[in-house]
Amino acid sequence: MTDIYPLLPRVANTAYVTTAKYREWYQRSLDDPEGFWGEQAKQYISWFEPWDKVLSGGFDRLDVRWFQGGKLNAAYNCLDRHLQKRAQQPAIIWEGDNPNESAILTYKELYDRVGRLANVLKRYGIKKGDRVCIYLPMIPEAVIAMLACTRIGAIHSVVFAGFSADSLKNRILDAGCTLVITANEGIRGNKAIPLKENVDKALRDCPDVSTVIVVKRTETLVPWEHKRDMWYHNLIAEAQVECSAEIMDAEDPLFILYTSGSTGKPKGILHGTGGYLVYAAMTHKLVFDYHNREIFWCTADVGWITGHTYSVYGPLVNGATIVLFEGVPHYPTAARYWEVIDKHKVNIFYTAPTAIRALRREGDEWVKRTSRKSLRILGTVGEPINPEAWEWYYHIVGEDRCPVVDTWWQTETGGIMITPLPGATPLKPGAASWPFFGVEAKIVNDEGAPVPEGEMGNLVITQPWPGMMQTVYNDHERFVKTYFETFPGQYLTGDQASRDAEGYFWIAGRSDDVIKVSGHRIGTEEVESALVSHAMVSEAAVVSRPDPVKGQNIYAFVTLKTDAKPSDSLKSELVQVVRDVIGPIAAPGYIQWAEELPKTRSGKIMRRLLRKIANNEVKDMGDLSTLANPVVVEDLIKKRNKSEVE
Ligand code: WT7
């Protein structure tokens, strides 16, 4: 039996949605999606011209179109239309890495800065449909850059500032970006991140990038390429504010965001304008029960989809005040998040289970020395949250006053898909709960047949929803293959889940070769090819291993070339290779030397066995009959200890 937490009257009395309304609207959203989404689109978005058709096409032919013929602009919806009522209202409350540094940008100020940068982009030749790469830390300029792109119809591709020069290069090349916006340095946890240096390295192989706009975040000098590099502040100072918003079709692309999958290099997930914005705005308002003038803080970096949808587009479309935090949860102390909540009177706080677990481990005192009385709603996202962490969040951080919304979604889905709604959903710790309006979720076995209640299976979505990705940039075939080949006509999420008697969804984790390390999505194949790029490595196989704080950690089995000698320093080198090729977030926590890898007779690596060895579940190894070389497994089990990387 799991605990159920009933609705909290303090929230339920003013919430937009009640349990009865949820049921009624949910049914309507499935019975009459066009009627339902047409109403939402009118309510949440200002359109220059109405659409001809709310929804056309479907998953059978993969020709889905939302709000076809409708005209709008994302930046206009985030800024211009708020000026009459909200010009002086803070749009962004920026909290620096250093607790003594913060700044406020009103809607009017944000509007002005976006207009100036948009004019700068135009001056450097950027026009509708061009791709712009944004590689910035969590500073207001990151939001300004995104909105400046969308204002003129350029497609932004934000690359998380923790990715390496190599990853940045691949993303710039794949998207065909011609301009990069970066900073001389970033700062996180009082450590400098050499962003401009990474851009310089990346651009050695990107001949199409002719302009780099550099925000001066610190006083550190950086090498300068005179024809190519420009200081942001100089360009902005000379630019005009007025810049009319480009009139975009609802189906025009808004942004590309790269994410990892089971195989191959990261995919450029392409999102459109109209459907995405409607979905972002509606989910932001209802899932977080956002009320006028509340302070909303999503801790996700703008380099991830959570940052796109809930640090930028959703809240700004709704005229919200957002907190943008440059730093990390542990700096200067483990009280930082709670102090920021008090400092800026945050009402709604949205973060990841990994942060909750890490802070819980530091002890309750850090939380209890702050007030947090402004808090009303708590949210989590990115990976399953274990009940212990959930309870701590609910009781200690929220003092039993705040519903916890455990929101399940993906880069591909654009917005939250399965979640409790404050005031409508009694809470079960660890359950993502009920599908959002318009989301038809099912659990099927590997043959595609529905599984009985309570049983685990593949989570699929059977009907289109407006936030859904349009395609994989430059590779529509991959889009079709990855998401629609396994169960034709249904969107494959890649997650395993079950549904209980009350219709609550419980997400167990990925069913493919994607690892969620601290909520970051990492493809095993990417890590393997990074390891193999080292001159001494002949083969590598990467699996996940449960981790009390990170959720999962990366466990790599590495076979060296015959002339190479295993050593701890070689292990460190291998970790460094992964950091260089992908970025620090993909650094393996464990490396185990393997004289050979367990393979089937046809030469396929048996990851199932490796996972068991990594997790020390070696009592029952399951069916070994297809294994070509049984002694290999015994040997790996024997040598399992000492695999942790210092
Ligand atoms: C994967 C998507 C979109 C949010 C940030 C992550 C896992 C996400 C939950 C949750 C259990 C979750 C899934 C999903 N995931 N939220 N509430 N409970 N698992 O986006 O990087 O595209 O990762 O994150 O495995 O497939 P992403």
Using one digit for the tens of pLDDT, what is the confidence trace for 398-407? 999 999 999 9
DSSP codes of every residue in 431-488 = --BSBPTT--EEEE-TTSPBPPTT--EEEEE-S--TT---EETT-HHHHHHHHHSSST
For residue 598, the SS3 value is coil
Paired residues of 444 in beta bridges: 450, 458
Mean pLDDT of 69-98: 98
Q: Give pLDDT, residue 516.
A: 97
Q: Are 187 and 219 in contact (CB under 8 A)?
A: no
Ligand 1 center to 308 CA (angstroms): 14
Instruction: Give the closest residue (by CA) to ligand 1 atom 12.
Output: 383
Both tokens of 622, joined, read 């399951």
Q: For residues 440 and 464, what is the distance between their CA atoms, to the nearest angstrom? A: 9
**Ligand 1 test: best mutation among 516, 518, 520, 526, most atoms within 8 Å of CB?**
516
558-602 pLDDT per residue, tens? 999 999 999 999 999 999 999 999 999 999 999 999 999 999 998
Alpha-carbon separation of residue 38 from 99, 417, 450 (angstroms): 44, 19, 31
Q: For residues 265 and 166, what is the distance between their CA atoms, to the nearest angstrom? A: 12
**pLDDT at residue 622 greater than cutoff 90:** no
Mean pLDDT of 410-415: 98
CB atoms within 10 A of CB 103: 14
Mean pLDDT of 613-621: 89
Q: How confident is the model at residue 1 (pLDDT cuts 50, 70, 90)?
A: low
Q: Give pLDDT, residue 465.
A: 98
Q: Give pLDDT, residue 641.
A: 74
Q: Give pLDDT, residue 204.
A: 98
Paired residues of 51 in beta bridges: none
Q: For residues 76 and 80, what is the distance between their CA atoms, to the nearest angstrom? A: 5
Domains of the chain with CATH codes:
104-249 (3.40.50.980), 518-642 (3.30.300.30)
Nearest atom in ligand 1 to the alpha carbon of residue 409 is: 3
Instruction: Give the closest residue (by CA) to ligand 1 atom 27.
Output: 410
167-192 pLDDT per residue, tens? 999 999 999 999 999 999 999 999 99
500-535 pLDDT per residue, tens? 999 999 999 999 999 999 999 999 999 999 999 999
Judge if the upstream peptide bond of residue 588 is cis by omega within 30 degrees of 0.
no
- Which among 25, 20, 52, 27 is positioned nearest to 40, based on CA atoms? 25
Kind and range of the H or E element at 559? strand 551-560
Mean pLDDT of 27-44: 98
Instruction: Give the closest residue (by CA) to ligand 1 atom 19.
Output: 383
Displacement of CA 482 from its chain's centroid (Å): 19
Ligand 1 center to 551 CA (angstroms): 12
Nearest atom in ligand 1 to the alpha carbon of residue 416 is: 3
Q: Give pLDDT, residue 643.
A: 79
Q: Give pLDDT, residue 546.
A: 95
Q: For residues 583 and 277, what is the distance between their CA atoms, to the nearest angstrom? A: 30
Q: How confident is the model at residue 2 (pLDDT cuts 50, 70, 90)?
A: low
Q: Are 518 and 463 in contact (CB under 8 A)?
A: no
Alpha-carbon separation of residue 289 from 12, 15, 307, 310, 378 (angstroms): 10, 6, 18, 13, 11
Task: Consult the annotation and say whether 390 binds a ligand.
Answer: no
Q: Give pLDDT, residue 646.
A: 63
Give percent of the chain with pLDDT exceeding 90.
94
Ligand 1 center to 406 CA (angstroms): 10
Q: For residues 506 and 430, what is the distance between their CA atoms, to the nearest angstrom? A: 7
Q: Are 626 and 600 in contact (CB under 8 A)?
A: yes
**Ligand 1 test: best mutation among 386, 521, 552, most atoms within 8 Å of CB?**
521
Ligand 1 center to 385 CA (angstroms): 11
Ligand 1 center to 162 CA (angstroms): 19
DSSP E strand boundaries for 253-397: 253-259, 267-272, 295-298, 321-325, 348-351, 377-381
Mean pLDDT of 338-346: 98
Task: Consult the annotation and say whether 426 binds a ligand.
Answer: no
Q: Give pLDDT, residue 629.
A: 86
Q: Give pLDDT, residue 396.
A: 98
Burial of 352 (0-12, 13-18, 19+ CB in 10 A): buried
**Residue 54: what are its φ and ψ, rounded to 5°?**
-65, -50
Q: For residues 338 and 356, what is the distance between their CA atoms, to the nearest angstrom? A: 12
Q: 617 CB contacts (<8 Å, ≥6 apart)?
A: none
Give percent of the chain with pLDDT exceeding 70.
100
Mean pLDDT of 281-305: 98
**Residue 454: what are its φ and ψ, rounded to 5°?**
85, -10
Q: Give pLDDT, residue 136.
A: 98
- Which among 554, 566, 556, 558 is positioned nearest to 537, based on CA atoms? 558
